[in-house]
Amino acid sequence: MKIINNKISLIGLGKCGGRLVENLAKTHITPVIKIAAVDSDTAFLNSLEGVKKLNTGSQRTENLGCGGNPERGKKAIRDDINLIRNFVQDTGFVVVVGGLGKGFTTGAVGEIAQMLKTLPVMPIFVLSTPFDIEGGLFREKAEKALENLNAKVKNVVNISNNLMYSQTSADTPITELFKLADKALIDGTRALIDIIKHEPNDTISLDFSVIAANLSRRQRECALSYGICEGKDFDQLAESFINCPLSGGETYIKSATSIVLKLTTPILTSSETKKCIDALNQHFDCENKLNIGFHFESNANKCSLSGLIIKEHESRNGSRNSSGQLELDLIERSRGIFTGLPAKMHDKEGYDINIPTFQRLEISLEEV
């Protein structure tokens, strides 16, 4: 099915998604032409400003939220799925954002994905999974919803709230953690919109078909990142991009199959442009897998870089060994809960800190 144009509708689900789109609406992000918050909680929707409010499932939830029950979320959206179908008409991209773990968003997101598949649109989901401190039940519901969603659509960017721990100390108030998670979701959504959007004065624009093709690849996962630097310090720009908690880290970026970048800078000379590309290639190790668009702003005094990092998996079907046993491909995974960290962690001397010191230095107990 052909995508009709590159206009974007932005949809926030539940309380988390509703707040997020309200915040984004205040910043007038072009060319998002439509912004809506969708929930079954009427009082919450009424508290929002500057966005269209789509109230769903009033027959089933008495205009309240879904009380953490995804089944209620699913039923609530099924009743009113046409509200969303009508809302996204005339737009080619639909960005859906929200937090998984409770009722409405967790139940509704799969139904919305299913419906969007029948329309000539490219849907992209930016969804957070709960902090561990919210409890195992939230996590379980979120993971189940993500699994179902990934089976239906491939354009899912998952932001694990646990990544926020890596930026904070143990005595950080919880409210602060949620604020950081808000920022991560906003940065992620903004990065995505930056990449998709096509501005009339883009000097080298990203080819729309490249973005769409990258987003619709099978067997892949993706991360989003955003970096910024003062002036034209391109090394700082690349480092800031790598250090953004959403990027997946340096190892992840370097092992990406393709990277789609949108660079916004003051007007650059040709040698500065080359310096910039060289810096990105060097930091991301991405010479043959880079799709890059340039947007120059004559009076800007900083550079920013938004990126979609795509990693394709080898076939997950596995192959059979000589005794007929199925052997699955090994996929490198990060260790611990900070899923965005590289799978191997090294100390300053380059030692793998996952290996206990006595084993690494080959010290035997007899010697001690």
Ligand X SMILES: Nc1nc2c(ncn2[C@@H]2O[C@H](COP(=O)(O)OP(=O)(O)OP(=O)(O)O)[C@@H](O)[C@H]2O)c(=O)[nH]1
If you ran DSSP here, which 8-state letter would residue 328 be given? P
> Of these partners, ligand X, Mg ion, none, which one is at the site of residue 19 (CB under 5 to 8 Å by kind)?
ligand X
C-alpha 341: how far from chain center: 15
Q: Write down the least CB distance from residue 4 to Mg ion, Å.
A: 32
d(CA 10, CA 229): 28
96 binds ligand X, rule: CB under 6 A: no
65 binds ligand X, rule: CB under 6 A: yes
> Of these partners, Mg ion, ligand X, none, which one is at the site of residue 107 (CB under 5 to 8 Å by kind)?
none
130 binds ligand X, rule: CB under 6 A: yes
Q: How many CB atoms sit inside 10 A of residue 176's CB?
A: 13
If you ran DSSP here, which 8-state letter would residue 356 be given? -
Q: Write down the least CB distance from residue 16 to ligand X, Å.
A: 3
Q: Which residue's CB is nearer to Mg ion, number 15 or number 295? A: 15
From candidates 7, 102, 154, 190, binder to ligand X by CB under 6 A: 102
Q: Which residue's CB is nearer to ligand X, number 132 or number 239? A: 132
Residues contacting residue 14 through CB under 8 Å, at least 6 positions apart: 39, 41, 65, 98, 99, 102, 103, 104, 105, 108
Q: Which residue's CB is nearer to Mg ion, number 138 or number 284? A: 138
Strands 122-129 and 220-230: unpaired
Question: Residue 85: which of 57, 51, 111, 107 has the closest Cα?
Answer: 111
Q: Write down the least CB distance from residue 14 to Mg ion, Å.
A: 5
Contact positions toward Mg ion, by CB under 5 A? 14-15, 41, 65
User: Rounded to the nearest 10 degrees, what angle do helices 234-243 and 270-284 cross at?
Assistant: 30
Q: Which residue's CB is nearer to ligand X, number 83 or number 279? A: 83
Strands 93-99 and 52-55: unpaired
Using the contact rule CB under 6 A, the part of the chain among 84-92, 180-188, 326-334, 356-364 near ligand X is 180-188
From candidates 12, 57, 92, 99, binder to ligand X by CB under 6 A: 99
Structure-block tokens of residue 115: 């419906």
> Where on the chain is the footprint of ligand X (CB under 6 A)?
14-16, 19, 39, 65-68, 99, 101-105, 128, 130, 134, 138, 161, 178, 181-182, 185
